[in-house]
Amino acid sequence: MFFEGSEKKVEIKVAAGSPSLRSLGRPFWQDIVACANAEILSHISNDECDAYLLSESSLFVWDDEFLMLTCGTTTLADAALSFIEQYGIEKVGFVCYQRKNEYLSHLQSSSFDEDLFRLREKLTGKAYRIGHLDSHHHYVFCTDAPCEGLGEEKTSELLMYHIRGEAADYLRSDKQTAEGVRRLLELESLLPDFEFDDFLFEPFGYSVNGVSGDRYMTIHITPQENSSYVSFETNLDLGQYPQPIFARLLQILNPGSWDVIGFNVERDTQGYPSHLCLGSCTLESDQGYSIEFSHFQQTCHEVLIPEQM
């Protein structure tokens, strides 16, 4: 069984003085999510943020911005363009659209180039590829209009490939439970102030959202042995956070390789397994976003098993 875990991501900030995005209500966001060929499974809220768990990843909504991630063969660009059309392009302050290369890109309904062409019919900005074309890489498009506050926002992404060991075996087993996965990932101890909302898919696969004030986290696990993928993302300032979250998740899940992407975040590899950094780059956006990308591989030798076609 194959499922495309690689995610597409859009972040949209609205201009100062625009109507609150949270005031638009769940029916509005259900329609936006449906444009991506996904649906809302559940949600949690606090005074700062509404967090929606989706059939394919997550949606977080604040008063002045939203963040949506979708995986599989979803059409996230359609959702972004629908939002812009309904909300009003004059109220949009900043858009960042990000897409990772897929394992089976020919099964997608569009490529990044095709998404970019449609976005540029509405928006002006610059697009980049970060990472080697023949390895894990990401595409990023950011609008170029001035937008206050972007240089102060921090986002950290950890994307893990080919997880191995006891944790991977449990995530592929028929014995797992949502509570068991939370314990496995040590979520309550790593993020003690967060409220969690999670879902265990059949026959396997797991998603969790967490919120604490205006801080968020999300994890998505596609554990299939030949194409396993785990993503973690948060806007916590990990440099000031007492727990080494990235290092601990790497120890638990034991991936063969992983990417770290930081928006206004400096690279910190303390506590990582023994590794090689196969490549890194830094990209400065016109609005003050500093994007740093690094691709790592464990130094241990991996014995590969030929797969009969």
Question: Which tens digits make up the pLDDT trace of 153-163?
Answer: 899 999 999 99
* Angstrom distance (rounded) from CA 237 to CA 27: 32
Check residue 193 and give its pLDDT.
94
Check residue 286 and give its pLDDT.
77
**What parts of the chain have a pLDDT lower than 70?**
1, 301
Parallel, antiparallel, or unpaired for β 92-100 and 125-130? unpaired
Check residue 165 and give its pLDDT.
94
User: What angle, 0 to 180 degrees and rounded to 10, lies between the N-to-C axes of helices 245-253 and 178-185?
Assistant: 120
* Angstrom distance (rounded) from CA 8 to CA 37: 13
* Angstrom distance (rounded) from CA 265 to CA 239: 8
* pTM greater than 0.85 (yes/no): yes
Token pair for residue 170? Answer: 């449990």
CA distances 123 to 10, 120, 137, 208, 255, Å, are 14, 5, 24, 32, 37
Token pair for residue 198? Answer: 């999670």
- Please tell me the total number of residues recorded for the chain in this structure: 309
Check residue 108 and give its pLDDT.
87
Check residue 301 and give its pLDDT.
66
- Superfamily assignment of 8-298 in CATH? S-adenosylmethionine decarboxylase (3.60.90.10)
Check residue 136 and give its pLDDT.
84
Query: Tens of pLDDT along 26-50?
Result: 999 999 999 999 999 999 999 999 9
Token pair for residue 296? Answer: 């790592």
Q: Please name which of 69, 94, 88, 126 lies closest in space to residue 12, comparing C-alpha atoms.
A: 94
Token pair for residue 97? Answer: 């659209």
